[in-house]
C-alpha cells in the first residue's frame, strides 16, 4: 500500500503516503504482531504471548501484603492476572516495604521484564500500578543503593529507570496509577507515566529533586507540564512542593480523590472500578484511541481517527441493533 501511495500523483499521493506511515506506526505501537485488517494493512498475524509469573497471586483474590523486611527480591514486584469478571485486568504491585518501594536495580529489572511481557499480551485490557505497602506508593530511586554505586554505574542506572518509566507510558492499553500513599520523585514520575491517576486524600505527591540539587530524571519535566500546565509545573518543581490528594485533584494532577478506608487501599478500589468500566469496550478501539490521544499531544493525529475495519466494529453495530451487550474478541 505504501508503494502505491508514493506513486500516486500530487497532494493525494502525499496524504496517502503520510497516512500509510501513521497507520504503520500505529500498528507498531499497538504491540508486536498487530495489523489493522482490511484494506489498510492486511490480516492480523502472530499469536499473543501469555506470560504469567513474578509471584502472581491466585485468581482475583485480595492481594497478599508483605510488610516484612525479610521480603525476598523476587517478591519486590507482584504481577497478578485477575480472573472471572475482572479477567483482562493486570495488577502490578510494588512490595519493598523496607525501602519505601524505592527503585532498586532488582525492582527496575523486574518492572522491565513484566512490562515487556504485558505489551505483547493481547489478553491484557487494563493495567493497574499500585503499592502493596501501606502508606507508600513509591519513594523514587533507592538513594541508599545509589550511594554504594561506582560513579560509572549511576548514569546507566538513572537511564534504566527513565527507560522503564517510558516503557510503561508506551504500553498500548490503559494504565491506572493507584496512589494510596507517598509518591515522591521517581514515584510520582511513575504515576505520571500512567494514563489515569487516582489517589487517597491522605496521599502525598511531589517532584522534590531540586531539594537534592538535581532535577527530575524520569520524564517529570515533560509529563507534569502536560498534566497541569507549564507555569504551575515549574512552580511545583522549583519549590519541591508536596501536595496531598485534595490539592493534587485541585490542580489536575489526579482524576479522582478518595477518603482513605480502613484497609488503606481506597485508591486501588477506585482504580479497579475504573478498570472494570473499561473492560466491555472494544480492545482494538481502546488501543488505537490511546495512541491517537497520545500522538495528538505532540502532532496532529486526526488522520488516525478513521473507522477501524475490525470484526469487533461489526459486532458492536450488530449488538446495538439486537439490543444486547457486545461480545468483543479483539479482532
SS3 91: strand
Residue 197's H or E segment, with its range, is strand 196-200
Q: What are the residues facing 92 on neighbouring strands?
A: 79, 129
Whether 93 sits among the annotated catalytic residues: the reply is no
Which ranges of 105-201 does DSSP label H, i.e. alpha helix? Answer: 105-118, 143-147, 151-169, 186-192
The strand pair at 204-206 and 182-184 is best described as: parallel
Q: What are the residues facing 197 on neighbouring strands?
A: 177
Whether 10 sits among the annotated catalytic residues: the reply is no
Catalytically annotated residue among 97, 209, 217, 267: 209
Q: What are the residues facing 143 on neighbouring strands?
A: none
> Exposed e or buried b for every residue in 211-247, given b needs 16+ CB within 10 A?
eeeeebbbbbbebbbebbeeeebeebbeeeebbbbeb
- H helix count then E strand count, the chain: 12, 10
Instruction: Extract long-range pairs of 304-307: CB within 8 Å, 24+ residues apart.
Output: 304/22, 304/23, 304/26, 306/40
Which ranges of 119-265 does DSSP label H, i.e. alpha helix? Answer: 143-147, 151-169, 186-192, 220-228, 230-239, 245-251
The C-alpha cell that represents 303 in the structure block: 488522520
Q: How large is the angle between the packed helices 220-228 and 230-239, nearest 10 degrees?
A: 130
Whether 76 sits among the annotated catalytic residues: the reply is no
Catalytically annotated residue among 20, 185, 189, 200: 189
Whether 84 sits among the annotated catalytic residues: the reply is no
Catalytically annotated residue among 66, 93, 185, 186: 186
Catalytically annotated residue among 17, 114, 141, 248: 141
* Residues classed as catalytic: 141, 186, 189, 209
Amino acid at each position: 500500500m505504501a508503494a502505491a501511495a508514493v506513486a500516486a500523483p500530487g497532494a493525494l499521493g502525499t496524504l496517502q503516503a503520510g497516512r500509510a506511515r501513521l497507520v504503520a506506526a500505529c500498528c507498531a505501537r499497538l504491540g508486536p504482531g498487530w495489523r489493522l485488517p482490511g484494506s489498510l494493512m492486511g490480516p492480523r498475524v502472530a499469536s499473543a504471548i501469555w506470560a504469567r509469573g513474578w509471584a502472581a497471586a491466585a485468581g482475583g483474590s485480595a492481594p497478599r501484603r508483605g510488610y516484612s523486611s525479610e521480603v525476598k527480591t523476587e517478591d519486590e514486584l507482584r504481577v497478578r492476572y485477575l480472573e472471572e469478571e475482572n479477567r483482562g485486568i493486570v495488577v502490578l504491585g510494588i512490595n519493598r516495604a523496607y525501602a519505601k518501594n524505592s527503585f532498586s536495580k532488582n525492582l527496575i529489572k523486574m518492572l522491565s521484564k513484566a512490562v515487556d511481557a504485558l505489551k505483547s499480551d493481547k489478553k491484557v485490557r487494563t493495567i493497574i500500578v499500585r503499592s502493596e505497602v501501606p502508606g507508600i506508593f513509591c519513594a523514587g530511586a533507592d538513594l541508599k543503593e545509589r550511594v554504594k554505586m561506582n560513579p560509572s554505574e549511576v548514569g546507566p542506572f538513572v537511564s534504566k529507570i527513565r527507560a522503564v518509566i517510558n516503557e510503561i507510558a508506551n504500553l498500548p492499553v490503559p494504565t491506572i496509577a493507584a496512589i494510596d500513599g507517598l509518591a515522591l520523585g521517581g514515584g510520582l514520575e511513575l504515576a505520571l507515566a500512567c494514563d489515569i491517576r487516582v489517589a487517597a486524600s491522605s496521599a502525598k505527591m511531589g517532584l522534590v529533586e531540586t531539594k537534592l540539587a538535581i532535577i527530575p530524571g524520569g520524564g517529570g519535566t515533560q509529563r507534569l507540564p502536560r498534566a497541569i500546565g507549564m507555569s504551575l509545573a515549574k512552580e511545583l518543581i522549583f519549590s519541591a512542593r508536596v501536595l496531598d490528594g485534595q490539592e493534587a485533584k485541585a490542580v489536575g494532577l489526579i482524576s479522582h480523590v478518595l477518603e482513605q478506608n480502613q484497609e488503606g487501599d481506597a485508591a486501588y478500589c477506585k482504580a479497579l472500578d475504573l478498570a472494570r468500566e473499561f473492560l466491555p469496550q472494544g480492545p482494538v478501539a481502546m488501543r488505537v484511541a490511546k495512541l491517537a490521544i497520545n500522538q495528538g499531544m505532540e502532532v496532529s493525529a486526526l488522520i488516525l481517527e478513521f473507522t477501524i475495519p475490525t470484526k469487533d466494529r461489526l459486532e458492536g453495530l450488530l449488538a446495538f441493533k439486537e439490543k444486547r451487550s457486545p461480545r468483543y474478541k479483539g479482532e
